[in-house]
Structure 1
Amino acid sequence: MYLKLKNYRTLIVLTLAQCFGQTAALILVLLGGIVGASIAPSMDWATLPIALHIVGLASATIPASYLMSQLGRKAGFLIASALSIVASLLAALSVYIESFVLFCIAAFLIGNYIAFLKQYRFAVAESVPKEQVPKCLSILMLAGIGAAFLGPEVGRRFSVVSGLPNYVGSFLGLATMLLVSFIILLLFYRNTEVKITAHESVVRPLSEIVRQPALILAIASAAVAYSVMSLVMTATPLSMHEIDLHSLENTTRVIQSHILAMYVPSFFSGLLISRFGVMRVIQVGLFFMVVCVIIGWGQPEFIHYWSSLIFLGIGWNFLFLGGTTLLTQSYRSSERFKAQAVNDFLVFGMQAVGSLSAGVLLANIGWNGVMGFALPMLILLAVVLIFSAAGKKSASLN
């Protein structure tokens, strides 16, 4: 039993660390727009902190891969984790002194940290045999369930602390969560030695790597998953709490349900990929995203917000896990940092577009503008899927 667990040490340690580390994104998504609305100079800028955390994520993807290729994954994870604690304390200070600029800087730095957090999946993939990658990635994603409870609950329960302005306590609570993640990494994480065969030691030009149909579909699947999810989830707390005047409790319940819908399918989505293949899982994920838009369209009540965000979460899980699994099959071990950097830059760059668009669309067009903006991205993924399936069929005939 011990030897079996030892083989999955990286998976176990990073799953635990991610339970606490992932609360950073969830608390920022829940409270970023609400805090922004109270201290921003204009309502149009309310979701800017959330958008800047995505921009911070996208801008740090390439530096994160490069840093870990030079120093190793453990050093990179620890540096980023320490940065996240400082950023959380900075966020608490900015709310205390009502500095919107400082809050935006803190959000950007939290985004930098999350770029490193996203590398956990690649560290896990490198630590297990290739046939076990889908299952192990889905287990890692289960950390989101713990984060779904911890993050919003910490954000809500410590939002009002005697003697402090509202939400200062939320970010102090976040700093505590991130400190726990740092300690787990410091004490238990070990770098995995990646064995590279003679064939895999040859590094292909980047232009050749990115022209692979499988890599294009992998990036498109994950990019659409994150851009649509970020667009809708960023807009939801502001639309529910500030515009439709739902309580913070109901808003928290919708966000928590959405986060659970993002990660609970991980109990079986890895098995579905092994059983039915990546293509089929990506197709189902696209279908769920379309259902999300259909339910959310119109004048949503609580039930519409809730059910739309549920389908959004399930669709995200299938698209992101499918895309990540396909990505790990599209590069040689010697190319992993290069391919991972390009993938994450494009995926989280698209997420930044979705997040940046949310506040502007909500302020100028309304909730249906948010829903409508998701459609072109879903159509794009459908086109990539059609061409990928046609190319695969043509290759099998030849």
Structure 2
Amino acid sequence: MVVKTEGVVSVEQSLAKNVWVLAGVLAFANCSAPIIVFVGSIVGGLLAPDKSLATLPVALFVVGAATSAIPTALLMQRVGRKPIFLLGAAAAMIAAIFAAQCISRQWFWGYCVSVFLLGMTNAVVQQFRFAAMESVKPELITQAASRVLLGGVIAAFLGPELALYFKDGGGVEYSGSFYALAAMLLIAFFLLLVGYREVPQTVEQDAETPRPMKEILRQPILWAAMFAGVIAFAVMSLIMTATPISMHVINGFNLADTKWVIQSHIAAMFLPSLLTAWIFRRVGVVGMMLLGLTAYVVTIVIGVWDQHIMHYWFALVLLGIGWNFLFIGGTSLLPKSYTNSERFKMQAINDLSIYVAQAVVSLLSGWLLLSIGWSMLLIICLPLILIQILVIVYWRKTAH
């Protein structure tokens, strides 16, 4: 009896350790996203035959993630999370090296393919939060999700710093940035290999019968959770993708200033995770989502006010904070809408919805910026914020 108890404690300790392992892996694996955000459209502008295609690589990064969201989740359901995590890290390394080679050869379309492949592997990285939530007791899922996202704070600074420091390291400008990314992904691979432990499933969990999709989709709580993620990413991606072009290309801010704003923004996306669990306990999931939406509104006000560097900085920092609160609120709410046997399917649908929205706004971002300007680009985010408020109100009314 004592031996069995010790075994259970050992498993629980290793699962709790999973959360910190995944946070560490995210610090390296998630470097791809800030590097693409920081230099993706700049490299695109240097290589593209038409300058209007400059933001296409950033959009393809998101499209790649959308393309692989459902296959990734279904493969994890069949073979487990760890093999797919390792496969994703290995594929990302190859894609990063391919990107560097394409930049060296001034091959725009090859560069687009490599970024698309990096996006596909990013769908694997986005599953880290679900793996962390499954590694702890139900009452700790918010803490698990927020702790994993802390790894993004390191990636927020490490990614752009690597991109800038090694940009000339490959012989052609920015090729070295992607060789450096490949090195970070190698570290992520080994951390996963030695540190992550697969979460065991009980016979009862495997034997559950999933409900019909129509029944699942009739739940207002599901729509509140999914819309939170979709709108969190749609507003954030639309503004963030346009920022380097607005700052560096249109307004003439130097690359160092642009990097500082983007780094601060990405740090603000993840750093609030230190306090997210504490805030969640005090205001609840609805309060967290409303705080995120409020931060988005203030972002728009500051951005419309003026376009000095500090206006960009404050707006992008608030944009990151708003994303954190809204996204973690939706992520914490989502498991309440599905059973364990439905989790892979619903997690895949949730992430696919997010990526589709993110891909659409990323594709439109550059065109909208050049067509209607920075201020109007911000203002058109207001209807999305209103939609999320109405969805929350409807969910709460039907819950009582």
One-letter code aligned to 1:131: E
Alignment of 1:189-338 (within 5 A): 189-195=196-202, 197=204, 201-338=208-345
> d(CA) in 2 for partners of 1:191 and 1:198?
15
> d(CA) in 1 for partners of 2:388 and 2:185?
35
Q: For residue 202 of structure 1, report the CA deviation from its aligned partner.
A: 2.3
Alignment partner, residue 74 of structure 1 = 82
Q: Among 170, 183, 188, which residue is 1:176 paired with?
A: 183
> d(CA) in 2 for partners of 1:174 and 1:198?
38
Alignment partner, residue 23 of structure 1 = 31
Using a 3 Å threshold, how does the CA distance of structure 1 residues 152 and 111 change in structure 2: closer, same or farther?
same
Alignment of 1:32-47 (within 5 A): 32-47=40-55
Please say if residues 125 and 328 of structure 1, whose CA atoms lie closer than 8 Å, have aligned partners that are also in contact: no
Alignment partner, residue 63 of structure 1 = 71
Counterpart check, 1:140 vs 2:148? yes
> d(CA) in 2 for partners of 1:364 and 1:41?
20
Q: Among 9, 14, 17, which residue is 1:6 paired with?
A: 14
One-letter code aligned to 2:16: Y
Alignment partner, residue 152 of structure 1 = 160
Please say if residues 21 and 192 of structure 2, whose CA atoms lie closer than 8 Å, have aligned partners that are also in contact: yes
Please say if residues 205 and 341 of structure 2, whose CA atoms lie closer than 8 Å, have aligned partners that are also in contact: no
What TM-score comes out, normalization by structure 2 length? 0.95
> d(CA) in 2 for partners of 1:299 and 1:96?
38
Using a 3 Å threshold, how does the CA distance of structure 1 residues 317 and 211 change in structure 2: closer, same or farther?
same
Please say if residues 196 and 333 of structure 1, whose CA atoms lie closer than 8 Å, have aligned partners that are also in contact: no
One-letter code aligned to 1:85: M
Deviations 1:166-207 (A, max 9, x none): 101111100100111011111222210133647981210112
Alignment partner, residue 58 of structure 2 = 50
> d(CA) in 2 for partners of 1:106 and 1:390?
46
One-letter code aligned to 1:238: I
One-letter code aligned to 2:152: G
Q: RMSD in angstroms over aligned alpha carbons? A: 1.6
One-letter code aligned to 2:138: K
> d(CA) in 1 for partners of 2:75 and 2:22?
19
Alignment partner, residue 109 of structure 2 = 101
Deviations 1:1-33 (A, max 9, x none): x95753412112111111100000110110001
> d(CA) in 1 for partners of 2:13 and 2:39?
38
Please say if residues 200 and 332 of structure 1, whose CA atoms lie closer than 8 Å, have aligned partners that are also in contact: no
Please say if residues 59 and 112 of structure 1, whose CA atoms lie closer than 8 Å, have aligned partners that are also in contact: yes
> d(CA) in 1 for partners of 2:201 and 2:374?
47
> d(CA) in 2 for partners of 1:97 and 1:62?
33
Counterpart check, 1:362 vs 2:341? no
State percent identity of aligned pairs.
Answer: 41
> d(CA) in 2 for partners of 1:92 and 1:329?
43
Deviations 1:214-263 (A, max 9, x none): 11000000100011111111111111111111111000100111011111
> d(CA) in 1 for partners of 2:380 and 2:40?
21
> d(CA) in 2 for partners of 1:364 and 1:97?
32
One-letter code aligned to 1:141: L
One-letter code aligned to 2:232: A
Using a 3 Å threshold, how does the CA distance of structure 1 residues 274 and 197 change in structure 2: closer, same or farther?
farther
Alignment partner, residue 3 of structure 2 = none
**341-350 vs 383-392, which moves further:** 383-392
Q: For residue 373 of structure 1, report the CA deviation from its aligned partner.
A: 2.8
Counterpart check, 1:344 vs 2:351? yes
One-letter code aligned to 1:381: Q
Identify unmatched segments of 5+ residues in structure 1: none
Alignment partner, residue 5 of structure 2 = none
Q: For residue 114 of structure 1, report the CA deviation from its aligned partner.
A: 0.5
Q: Among 364, 385, 391, which residue is 1:378 paired with?
A: 385
Using a 3 Å threshold, how does the CA distance of structure 1 residues 212 and 224 change in structure 2: closer, same or farther?
same
User: What is the count of residue pairs matched by the alignment?
Assistant: 391
Please say if residues 102 and 108 of structure 2, whose CA atoms lie closer than 8 Å, have aligned partners that are also in contact: yes
> d(CA) in 1 for partners of 2:245 and 2:184?
25
